[in-house]
Amino acid sequence: MASQWVNPRDSKFLLHEVLKIDEEMLGKAPFEGIDPEMVDMVVDGAATFGEGELAPHYPDEARGKPIEAVFNDNVVRAPEAYKTLWKHFAEGGWLSISDGPELGGQGLPSVVAAACNEFFFACNQAFTLVPMLTVGAARLIEKFCSDELKAAFLKKMFDGTWSGTMCLTEPVAGSDVGALKATAKKNADGSYSISGTKCFITYGDHDLCENIVHVVLARIEGDPVGTQGISIFVIPKNRVNPDGSVGESNDVVTGNVEHKMGIHGSPTCTLNFGENGKCVGYLMGRERDGMKIMFHLMNEERQNIGLMGTGLAGSAYLHALAYAKDRLQGSSMGARAPGKQVPIIQHPDVRRMLMVQKSVVEGIRLLSLYCFYTMDKGKAATTEDEKMKYQALIEILTPIVKAYCTDMGMVVNHLAVQTYGGYGYCRDYPVEQMQRDQRINSIYEGTNGIQALDLVSRKLGMSGGKLLTLLLNETNAVIGQALDTAELRQEAQRVEEAVHALATTASALGGIAKTSPTVPLLAACDLLNCFGDTLCGWLHLWMALTAKKALNSAESEEDRLFYQGKIEGAKFFVNRITSLVPAKCEVLAKDETSAMRISEGAFAV
Amino acid sequence: MASQWVNPRDSKFLLHEVLKIDEEMLGKAPFEGIDPEMVDMVVDGAATFGEGELAPHYPDEARGKPIEAVFNDNVVRAPEAYKTLWKHFAEGGWLSISDGPELGGQGLPSVVAAACNEFFFACNQAFTLVPMLTVGAARLIEKFCSDELKAAFLKKMFDGTWSGTMCLTEPVAGSDVGALKATAKKNADGSYSISGTKCFITYGDHDLCENIVHVVLARIEGDPVGTQGISIFVIPKNRVNPDGSVGESNDVVTGNVEHKMGIHGSPTCTLNFGENGKCVGYLMGRERDGMKIMFHLMNEERQNIGLMGTGLAGSAYLHALAYAKDRLQGSSMGARAPGKQVPIIQHPDVRRMLMVQKSVVEGIRLLSLYCFYTMDKGKAATTEDEKMKYQALIEILTPIVKAYCTDMGMVVNHLAVQTYGGYGYCRDYPVEQMQRDQRINSIYEGTNGIQALDLVSRKLGMSGGKLLTLLLNETNAVIGQALDTAELRQEAQRVEEAVHALATTASALGGIAKTSPTVPLLAACDLLNCFGDTLCGWLHLWMALTAKKALNSAESEEDRLFYQGKIEGAKFFVNRITSLVPAKCEVLAKDETSAMRISEGAFAV
């Protein structure tokens, strides 16, 4: 049953009934030991942990007193309560749900871990960034480091003794990673001396555990400029003694902690590496393979940020829904005389706001889970063709999931505040903070503009447009079934038209690019969102078809309500959102280059 | 020349060249004494005052220390710097730009005052709320109070000795004003004893001046329930002695000051009237005319909030523009090898974001000014027919201006943060605060949902649809001229199609309402925004036509850039935003009632 924070019922519906993981993957390699009951136990456990432990420490203010990460006397302190959260998070096994037993993990499918992580983000994004980055950094070490480094770091990261970060950005190198200035110089013992400043480092420093393991991009002296000359290093905050214990400082010094709009509990740090020439780093993989290696972590985090967008939108929606059922204002429609006040959920415009929230949240939830599902399918694939197909789907889905789930998440968070009216603007209600927290998700880990360029300039053109074709083909079966279902025929037609418009527009933009190369770039962000509107339309059809079948055999009133809600949600989303895709695409494929023609000086005189 | 805060050049273009106030109204009744030079002097003075005095005190945080209104020991304190701002604001004559000399004013057209107020909101919305409400309350007193009350209050309000508020909302009566519980009981001397609690009262208490004059809705004992039983009262915080000096407390006690997402400098108060039975109020107008009278103030404030949406969007855009010209990232398009970093304004996606910001800001700026311009035209009208026409235009424009300028303002503020990337999320840059401040504008003074219901349920149907016809007819002349102008023909056709779609959809919804009364209500918010998209398209054509003519005789490079920017902005707005109106309208006129069909229990199970 949905609380005001998480909706495990919906996640289980998606896992078992829509994506059918029981038949598709459980009990088969590499998930031989996993059965549906285990999945439910983990999902329910994550919901309980999120709601019971993380959510109570969500507020970043209590009675006007800020609860935030602070930087004083050169020490960074996370909110006091996070220490217990971090301990319990690790003890609960939440760091390694989908990792192998050799890493202390449970080996569940990634899609199940994703469902759990969505709950954690929904309940406390600022906190959950630390386990997320720790796991990401650890997995990179597992994949690209020597056994010696693995032995030194992995166990302690997966059991929460140490945490991890990723360090890309520098003051002059944000979206333009290739411009970084951090340097590495090889030492006699094979290690490297690192020097440079990194900024915007999430959990770059804190007091939650005894050591922090940084994964850092730097350029080895003499290597080429640009991204191709970048290497990647593991750099612990404190050196590690031969016995594995924490040794002396590794000359990583915090210069600053940012004051931000939201995620106040998460320390965003500027880190100075090697100011005193004593910072030692260890190469991951080979020299100059830095970007290729970092992309493993970046893609994983981009998919996770899609989950964050979904999670924060989801908890905001559930809060707004509860408020709308509780708050009395106005009399019921059609009543002429002022009468008894009714809950505002009875007013059409409030219902519209709630339906946008519900249908967007449930659409982006499945979209983000579907991306993790394709990873599992790829892992389980037995042929090279199948593996390549799922790899291609992940490639094209990643920028869409990152950007669309966060852009649309923001729409939901905005409407959740709006549902509360004036109270929504006050810090006493969590929807206020949720909107501020959500705001970061369209910025970090590659802005949504960078995601759109990745989609339009790289992914759509890769392998002669094969990724696009594969993705759009995925929608065929569901659309076909829905076309055969009277109740969903109109919606199926609209999704089909949207899919067609995407294919046509991608191809048209490819043509225009030859004469007007900026047109596809000017279209990129809006086109990415058209992809999202279309894919979520398809996924809504999939949910509605599943619900329609299940409705026939539903035994409880609760089940009937759940499935009926799915069908109405699908109609709303497709008819009001997906149906606009063809018109939006038509605009984007026009040769509209006023934004390029205008002189810089003419933007404001 | 545009700074990072205000763009007086654009405002003067709109006043003199587009709206042509010099020919249309200056020098004629009731603006006999006003000439174009005076207008420019006032506009330039307002820009200088805003940028020079208000903007430096905009930040609500300095080095991690909040700058905000606080409530301690039962005293509400505004930020210290606001005391000087308030003094200078009043001394500068900014409280009464468009009021008559008998009120200490300069008698300029409202549209000129609006241009100035936009600057003040752009530079410091939290502060500017206090003069705005003071003037609004004073004008209501001027219109509806006895000479005795006017003598007691008016002069001191217009010279800033006292401030004013409007008190509608109560904990159980927000959008549902009619549910208010505040009571009034007539005393022997003709005054009333007031009792009740009002919440969300902007500048309800503060230490900027010696008295505060509240305009308060309450129900006289025995009067009918609902809005028709409401009366309106003037209630000073402190009583006024017969000699006009400030007397004893009037039993108005502050219960609380809200902690909010933004506008931290503005104290949002809960006020308890008559807790000790000693609060005296004075009736405005007649008993039970409260709502009718308050609507004069509410409409004025709704129009002002359109200016706030425009102002905060405008200053955010100018900041983002300056940042985009300054920030170096990436190499220029087409460069294969990593080269010299270029300003990010050279990247197409950044230019797109800037063009959305520019074209939206300039569209909503003219839309909000046009609303004030119709007021002036109404004041200057010599026939009853003309007066009624302009009154009708104001009626239908008010909800559109309030909601559209703030909804689209938020789009601009979001993109301004996005233009800064990670820095935009940090409190060191004002765009962060601007987005938080902007968030309130779609909520207070009637949520944008309430505005949309006002448009769809009242204004569209008034006088048999006459308001709609009048408004759409206003677009004819400009569209006609643009159709005859080769360079703007395509854009003119798109605006014409949008106007046609609005007319068709309004009529279709009127028909559907007979069988499905919720459909127009479910469409209301989106339809209001379609009105805005269309009207701004029309206004962009108007600007572009004006610019095209002026371009021929432009003498300076600066002028040429300005006018070219207007033409490109119009093309961008119409082709990418207005052109979607027909498709959006088509969706809204469908009988899509999933949001009503869904059971309350099915929103989340």
Q: For B578-595, what is each residue's pLDDT tens digit?
A: 999 999 999 999 889 999
Query: For testing the chain B interface, which of A321, A332, A349, A415 should be mutated: the one with the most B CBs within 10 Å?
Result: A349
Nearest to B522 by CA among B453, B571, B455: B453
The pLDDT of residue B340 is: 87
Q: Is the pLDDT of residue A62 over 90?
A: no
Cα–Cα distance, A285 to A140 (Å, whole number): 10
Would strands A246-249 and A238-240 be described as parallel, antiparallel, or unpaired? antiparallel
Helix (H, G, I), strand (E, B) or coil at B521: helix
Contact A329 B422 (CB under 8 A): no
HSE at residue A472, side-chain half, CA atoms within 13 A, is: 20
CB atoms near residue B346 (< 10 Å): 18
A524 contacts in B (CB within 8 Å)?
348-349
Contact B9 A61 (CB under 8 A): no
Question: A353 near A411, Cβ under 8 Å?
Answer: no
The pLDDT of residue B338 is: 63
CB atoms near residue A539 (< 10 Å): 25
Give how far B99 is from chain A: nearest CA, Å.
31
Query: Which of B330, B352, B599 lies at the smallest CB-CB distance from A525?
Result: B352
- For residue A448, give the chain B residue with the closest CA: B418
Cα–Cα distance, A484 to A221 (Å, whole number): 64
Contact A442 B418 (CB under 8 A): yes
The pLDDT of residue A336 is: 60
Contact B565 A605 (CB under 8 A): yes
Nearest to B562 by CA among B113, B13, B4: B13
Nearest to B441 by CA among B542, B310, B544: B310
Give 3-state DSSP helix, strand, coil % of chain A, rounded to 5: 60, 15, 25
Contact A443 B424 (CB under 8 A): yes
Query: Which of B417, B572, B580 lies at the smallest CB-CB distance from A439?
Result: B417
| A281, β-bridge pairs | A192
Nearest to B265 by CA among B277, B275, B257: B257
- Which residues 87-146 of B are in CB contact (within 8 Å) with A? none
Report residue A565 as tokens.
Answer: 């809600």
HSE at residue B177, side-chain half, CA atoms within 13 A, is: 22
Residues of A with catalytic roles: 445
Give how far B171 is from chain A: nearest CA, Å.
10
Q: Which residues contact A428 (CB under 8 A, 6 or more apart)?
A: B258, B259
**pLDDT, tens digit (0-9, with 9 covering 90-100), for B203-249:** 999 999 999 999 999 999 999 999 999 999 999 999 999 999 999 99
Give how far B237 is from chain A: nearest CA, Å.
24
CB atoms near residue A591 (< 10 Å): 11
Question: A158 near A248, Cβ under 8 Å?
Answer: no
Cα–Cα distance, B413 to A261 (Å, whole number): 13
Where does residue A391 fall: left (phi above 0), alpha (psi -120 to 50 degrees), or beta otherwise? alpha
Contact A595 B354 (CB under 8 A): yes
Q: Please give the average per-residue pLDDT across A54-77, as a whole number.
A: 94
Residue appearing with tokens 């009464």: B96
- For residue A330, give the chain B residue with the closest CA: B176
Cis peptide before A36 (omega within 30 of 0): no
Contact A572 B594 (CB under 8 A): yes
Q: Is the pLDDT of residue A335 over 70?
A: no
Contact A200 B422 (CB under 8 A): yes
Query: Model confidence at A1, in pLDDT bands (50, 70, 90)?
Result: low
Nearest to A144 by CA among A217, A232, A238: A232
Query: For testing the chain B interface, which of A259, A425, A457 should be mutated: the one with the most B CBs within 10 Å?
Result: A425
- DSSP state for residue B426 in the 8-state scheme: B
The pLDDT of residue B152 is: 96
The pLDDT of residue A151 is: 96
Cα–Cα distance, B303 to A223 (Å, whole number): 60
CB atoms near residue A151 (< 10 Å): 11
The pLDDT of residue A591 is: 83
B261 contacts in A (CB within 8 Å)?
425-427, 432, 435-436
Nearest to A98 by CA among A146, A44, A39, A56: A39
Cα–Cα distance, A425 to B444 (Å, whole number): 10
CA angle B213, B217, B219 (to 5 degrees): 135
**pLDDT, tens digit (0-9, with 9 covering 90-100), for A145-160:** 999 999 999 999 999 9
Catalytic residue among B51, B68, B362, B445: B445
Give how far B154 is from chain A: nearest CA, Å.
30
Nearest to B299 by CA among B394, B168, B380, B203: B394
Question: A424 near A417, Cβ under 8 Å?
Answer: yes
Q: With an 8 Å Cβ cutoff, is B335 touching chain A?
A: no
Helix (H, G, I), strand (E, B) or coil at A517: coil
Query: Which of B425, B565, B600 lies at the smallest CB-CB distance from A598?
Result: B565
The pLDDT of residue A338 is: 63
Mean pLDDT for all residues in chain B: 96
Q: Which residues contact A476 (CB under 8 A, 6 or more apart)?
A: none
End-to-end CA distance of chain B: 57
B17 is catalytic: no
- DSSP state for residue A282 in the 8-state scheme: E
Cα–Cα distance, A156 to A298 (Å, whole number): 22
Return the sign of the alpha-carbon dihedral for residues A10, A557, A2, A23. Answer: negative
Contact B349 A175 (CB under 8 A): no
- For residue A176, give the chain B residue with the closest CA: B330
Q: Is the pLDDT of residue B195 over 80?
A: yes
Q: With an 8 Å Cβ cutoff, is A188 touching chain B?
A: no
- For residue A327, give the chain B residue with the closest CA: B172
Cα–Cα distance, A170 to A176 (Å, whole number): 9
Q: Which amino acid appears at position A48 of this protein?
A: T
The pLDDT of residue A337 is: 62
Query: Which of B328, B418, B564 lies at the smallest CB-CB distance from A447?
Result: B418
DSSP string for residues in A41-100? HHHHHHHHHIIIIIGGG--SEETTEE---EEETTEEE--THHHHHHHHHHHTTGGGTTS-
| Portion of chain B with pLDDT greater than 90, in percent | 96
**pLDDT, tens digit (0-9, with 9 covering 90-100), for B315-372:** 999 999 999 999 999 988 766 666 789 999 999 999 999 999 999 999 999 999 999 9
CB atoms near residue A38 (< 10 Å): 15
**pLDDT, tens digit (0-9, with 9 covering 90-100), for B175-190:** 899 999 999 999 999 9
**pLDDT, tens digit (0-9, with 9 covering 90-100), for A420-461:** 999 999 999 999 999 999 999 999 999 999 999 999 999 999
Q: With an 8 Å Cβ cutoff, is B179 touching chain A?
A: yes
A444 contacts in B (CB within 8 Å)?
422
The three-state DSSP-derived secondary structure of B180-202 is CCCEEEECCCCCEEEEEEEEEEE
Q: With an 8 Å Cβ cutoff, is A181 touching chain B?
A: no
- For residue A338, give the chain B residue with the closest CA: B226
Contact A568 B594 (CB under 8 A): yes
Q: Which residues contact B189 (CB under 8 A, 6 or more apart)?
A: none
The pLDDT of residue B339 is: 72
Query: Model confidence at B62, in pLDDT bands (50, 70, 90)?
Result: confident
Query: What are the phi and psi torsion angles at B267 (to 5°)?
Result: -75, 120
Contact B341 A176 (CB under 8 A): yes
B426 contacts in A (CB within 8 Å)?
258-261
Q: With an 8 Å Cβ cutoff, is A434 touching chain B?
A: no
Q: Which amino acid appears at position A180 of this protein?
A: L
The pLDDT of residue B337 is: 62
Cα–Cα distance, B415 to B125 (Å, whole number): 19
The pLDDT of residue A384 is: 97
**pLDDT, tens digit (0-9, with 9 covering 90-100), for A148-205:** 999 999 999 999 999 999 999 999 999 899 999 999 999 999 999 999 999 999 999 9
